[in-house]
Amino acid sequence: MNGEESGKEWLAQQRRLVEALRGRDFLRGEVEKVEQNLQKLEAHRRTLVDVLRICDGRMEIDVNRYRSVYTIDLSHTKGLVHVPGERHHLVIYSLGRIPAPNMKPFYSQKNVYPIDYMCKRAYYRGGAHFSTARDAVLYTCTIRNVCSKPLFEIAEGDLCIRGKAGEVFNVFRSLFPKGIEFANIVEFFGLNSPHVKRLIGEQEGFSDLGIGDRWEKRA
């Protein structure tokens, strides 16, 4: 093989190498897209499993459950509400909307759970997966409507606990071996605050529930 033929062969090999590198980069991009789609699919799968468990009345709580994307409509909110008189700072992001009178799981003579209610509570960080220092973090608390039943959620960073009121609070409370300063999830969400109850009582549709002033006085 003379020098001219060697040069042609070298150029051909360079072209094949460039094409191979381009193909590799293309495949890498496709693999990344597939991985992203698989992550989205897994999030949707977990959400559907939760919905089925709630509908069957056997919702299970998993502190390490992957949290699906959920967006609350804040178009009807009055804006941020800083709740006075709270030892641990509480801000209402959305007062939500009053449930329909036939949605009995969302209200009683004692409590009302507005749909899409969202607040942030400043409280200590706890749990074996977190720092042992008593530093405060913001917990996002939401109430959703799933199969005409309230779904409660407490989230902070990778932590996400969701399910029925009592179950969620028991799991959250277990993160604090030395105890917690709230008696139930209603207190932690600020729903027993006279200020919050007054704001909820002013919402459209509240009078249709037939609760009246007696509910607001039950603080």
User: Does the pLDDT of residue 3 top 70, yes or no?
Assistant: no
Residues forming beta bridges with residue 145, ordered by sequence position: 150
Averaged confidence pLDDT in the chain: 78
Q: Do 88 and 179 lie in a common domain?
A: yes
Q: Do 15 and 88 lie in a common domain?
A: no
Q: Do 141 and 208 lie in a common domain?
A: yes
Q: Is residue 197 part of a domain?
A: yes
End of a domain among 24, 45, 67? 67
Strand ordering across the sheet containing 118-124: 81-82, 90-94, 118-124, 136-146, 149-156, 159-163
Q: Is residue 151 part of a domain?
A: yes
Average pLDDT over residues 167-174: 92
Domain count, the chain: 2
Q: 84 and 194 in contact (C-beta within 8 Å)?
A: no
The CATH number of the domain where 167 resides is what? 3.30.160.360
Which has the higher per-residue pLDDT, 125 or 55?
125
Q: Do 50 and 148 lie in a common domain?
A: no
State residue 69's pLDDT score. 37
Which has the higher per-residue pLDDT, 189 or 79?
189
pLDDT digits (tens, 9 = 90+) for 69-94: 334 454 554 557 788 888 888 989 89
Q: Do 31 and 117 lie in a common domain?
A: no
From the number of C-beta atoms within 10 Å of its C-beta (0-12, 13-18, 19+), residue 150 rates as buried
End of a domain among 67, 89, 123? 67
Average pLDDT over residues 160-184: 91
Q: Is residue 72 part of a domain?
A: no
Q: Is residue 76 part of a domain?
A: no
For 41, phi and psi rounded to 5 degrees?
-60, -40
Q: Do 38 and 2 lie in a common domain?
A: yes
Q: Do 130 and 167 lie in a common domain?
A: yes
Q: Do 96 and 63 lie in a common domain?
A: no
The Cα 152–Cα 172 span in angstroms is 12
Confidence of residue 44 (pLDDT cuts 50, 70, 90): low
Q: Is residue 90 part of a domain?
A: yes
The Cα 107–Cα 128 span in angstroms is 35
Average pLDDT over residues 53-64: 49
Per-state percent for the chain, helix, strand, coil, to nearest 5: 40, 20, 40
Q: Do 90 and 188 lie in a common domain?
A: yes
End of a domain among 15, 44, 67? 67
Q: Is residue 34 part of a domain?
A: yes
pLDDT digits (tens, 9 = 90+) for 107-164: 998 899 999 999 999 888 865 444 444 567 889 999 999 988 999 999 988 889 999 9
Q: Do 57 and 86 lie in a common domain?
A: no
Q: Is residue 73 part of a domain?
A: no
Q: Do 164 and 194 lie in a common domain?
A: yes
Give kind and range of the element (H or E) at residue 155.
strand 149-156
Average pLDDT over residues 88-103: 91
CA-based nearest residue to 176, from 149, 205, 154: 154
Q: Is residue 123 part of a domain?
A: yes
The residue segments making up the domain with residue 44 are 1-67
State residue 140's pLDDT score. 92
